[in-house]
Structure 1
Amino acid sequence: MSKQHQNVIVTGSSNGFGYLTVLTMARKGHQVFATMRNVNGSNAAKRDELLRIAENESLDIKVVELDVTDQNSIDIATAQIQKEADHIDVLVNNAGTMFVGISEAYSIKQIEDQMSVNFYGPIRMAKAFLPMLKKNGGLITNVSSVAGRLAFPYFGVYCASKWAMEAYFESLGYELAPYGVDVTIVEPGPFATNLLHSGPKEADSEVIKTYGEDAKVPGTTLEGFDTMFKSGGPDVDPQHVADVISNLVHTEQGQRPIRTVVGQDFGTVELNNAVAPIQRRLIADVLQMNHLLGVSKN
């Protein structure tokens, strides 16, 4: 059964899914470590807002400085959290950015930056907290995207980072299952957060010129999403994603699905359903092979 009171870490807690997940989990009675960059700078107002809500509602929220791209920052935050909690039950890898533009025009450095947040960031966090998660059984939930399963034009760099993250954590999940740690992936469609505008402009203006009028398409695409978000309605409410994460946390250990799609799916549910039996057969074959070879976790 899921534990009544859990210690939860959420990355990227200053806005969007992360911010809402912090509040949702804290309102369920859990202790939540809301991690974010620049808690004494650009995110100071968000820090104060979370702490004010926590005080008014008697919630157990602790804001911690943490940059998922900086190993030293993670090490300091890990030490701070370990002083506050003798165990960790849940890690929510939410921090992310989205690069939208002409894929060819992004520099190698920009692509590395995207991967550092969306791919290496969750891995750094998992490596930091798995020693604690493995002690009593825990959960790693990764916020991906439908773009982590489908390829969209002008989202190539972002898709690559999410595809890589999903592959790593699905594989890791199979390896951790015998040790009582669940790994899940949440795949939101488009929601009304600021993620779409979180990435930089393409660095190579000369490449952009070679695309002519097509160079305007990424901007037009973003404008279309903005119009949809401004219309409001439940379909674009990011609280849905926080609720799904909460449901996964409160699902019985070993019974959580690998992937959960939220919102407009663009066919991702159909894709996941089609791939799942193939993946299950593969894992069954691997387990059988290991059994024949006498391989076990002991």
Structure 2
Amino acid sequence: MSIKTVLITGTSSGIGLAAAVAAAQSGWRVVATMRDTTKSGPLLAAAEAAGVSVEVRALDVTDPASVTASLADLDRLDALVNNAGAGHLGTLEQERLEDVRAVMEVNFFGVLHVTKAALPMLRASKGRVVTVTSVGGVVGQPFNEAYCAAKFAVEGFMESLAPVAATVGVAVSVVEPGAVASEFVSNVAGRDTVVEQAGPYAPALAAYLARTRDAFAAAQTPQGAAAPIVELLEAEQPAFRVQTSDAARAFTAVKLTDGDGSAVQALTSAWIS
């Protein structure tokens, strides 16, 4: 049999980097993509240390032409891992709507651009789509309104797509990490400005940031979060929804068993009181 090919977005660091290395260790041909390939050093070093190789390509998920180019010369594609994304901190009254749209463009429409382009090849191979969302795609979180909205949208889109894709042999799954020890939080654009300009929201924001620091003190490793992704790539019948840790499972369970929404409101309100 031919070696199976997986394309993974957002592999310059964190979960994407770990997933690319782990998939290669499991025998996959890995097309590891990132917006800026000058940042491929850590990935290539990790692959070399693991005794595997990955193929690095430029791919900006917000640019349809870049998406098309990254797939153009692949002779086959057996799996797609949508991992690229960006965090965002802010609240509605103090947000510019264009910033909210930018969050949606990266975290939601970027996933759609890549998935749409990949589906013809995935139909041919009876492959699968694995999309990294977040526990924030299940439970809305204070000062993460735009980010959670994008992740909610991804979850709803993929949950709706899954039965349709299954009729043509394509499996669709979402992966929900909680806190992961990576550069994701530190890379949130404009974080310092949001804190400086919090105004009447300053006490609530300070409480939220303190809670977040505590959560990330016990964060999961990128390798731990990547392991379920590789399991989904290789499962005979992959689940639709998978959390990456016990903490993520407990957190999302609050919402998934919360018929009237009161449990979630009580939980997240306590973070900022």
Q: TM-score, normalised by structure 1?
A: 0.78
Per-residue displacement from partner, 1:160-209 (whole Å, max 9, x unpaired)? 0000111111111111101110000011111112222333338998xx56
Matches within 5 A, 1:157-172: 157-172=146-161
Task: Give the SS at the match of 2:182.
Answer: coil
Q: Given that residues 93 and 143 in structure 1 are in contact (C-alpha distance below 8 angstroms), is that contact kept between their aligned partners in structure 2?
A: yes
Matches within 5 A, 1:206-245: 208=197, 211-212=199-200, 214-218=201-205, 220-229=207-216, 231=217, 236-245=220-229
Q: What is the Cα deviation at residue 138 of structure 1?
A: 0.6
Measured in 2, the distance between the counterparts of 1:226 and 1:204 equals 18
Task: Say whether 1:188 aligns with 2:186.
Answer: no
Task: Say whether 1:60 aligns with 2:60.
Answer: no
For 1:225, the aligned partner's letter is: T
Unpaired stretches in structure 1, ≥5 consecutive residues: 276-298
Per-residue displacement from partner, 1:208-252 (whole Å, max 9, x unpaired)? 56x42x3254355335434553x45xx522212100101111100
Counterpart of 1:248 (choices 232, 242, 247) is 232
Q: Given that residues 134 and 179 in structure 1 are in contact (C-alpha distance below 8 angstroms), is that contact kept between their aligned partners in structure 2?
A: yes
Task: After the TM superposition, list the runs of 4 or more consecutive aligned residues in structure 1 that deviate by more than 4 angstroms.
Answer: 55-58, 202-205
Q: Given that residues 182 and 256 in structure 1 are in contact (C-alpha distance below 8 angstroms), is that contact kept between their aligned partners in structure 2?
A: yes
Higher alpha-carbon deviation: 57-66 or 137-146: 57-66
Task: Give the SS at the match of 2:188.
Answer: coil
Q: Given that residues 26 and 59 in structure 1 are in contact (C-alpha distance below 8 angstroms), is that contact kept between their aligned partners in structure 2?
A: yes
Partner of 1:284: none
Task: Give the SS at the match of 1:50.
Answer: helix
Return closer, same or farther for 1:272/1:227 CA change in 2, 3 Å cut-off: closer
For 2:244, the aligned partner's letter is: V
Matches within 5 A, 1:249-264: 249-252=233-236, 255-263=237-245, 264=247
Per-residue displacement from partner, 1:108-129 (whole Å, max 9, x unpaired)? 1101110011100010001111
Measured in 2, the distance between the counterparts of 1:273 and 1:259 equals 15
Task: Say whether 1:95 aligns with 2:95.
Answer: no
For 2:43, the aligned partner's letter is: L
Unpaired stretches in structure 2, ≥5 consecutive residues: 260-273
Task: Give the SS at the match of 1:13.
Answer: coil
Q: Given that residues 6 and 31 in structure 1 are in contact (C-alpha distance below 8 angstroms), is that contact kept between their aligned partners in structure 2?
A: yes
Q: TM-score, normalised by structure 2?
A: 0.84
Return closer, same or farther for 1:228/1:172 CA change in 2, 3 Å cut-off: closer
Q: Given that residues 172 and 183 in structure 1 are in contact (C-alpha distance below 8 angstroms), is that contact kept between their aligned partners in structure 2?
A: yes
Per-residue displacement from partner, 1:115-156 (whole Å, max 9, x unpaired)? 011100010001111110000201100101111011111111
Q: What is the Cα deviation at residue 92 of structure 1?
A: 0.4
Identity %: 32
Partner of 1:294: none
Q: What is the Cα deviation at residue 78 of structure 1?
A: 1.6
Counterpart of 1:198 (choices 187, 197, 202) is 187
| Residues paired across the two proteins, number | 256
Partner of 2:69: 76
Counterpart of 1:19 (choices 14, 17, 20) is 17
Measured in 2, the distance between the counterparts of 1:16 and 1:156 equals 23
Partner of 2:262: none
Q: What is the Cα deviation at residue 260 of structure 1?
A: 0.7
Return closer, same or farther for 1:238/1:203 CA change in 2, 3 Å cut-off: closer
Task: Say whether 1:113 aligns with 2:95.
Answer: no
Which protein has the larger Cα radius of gyration, Structure 1 or Structure 2? 1
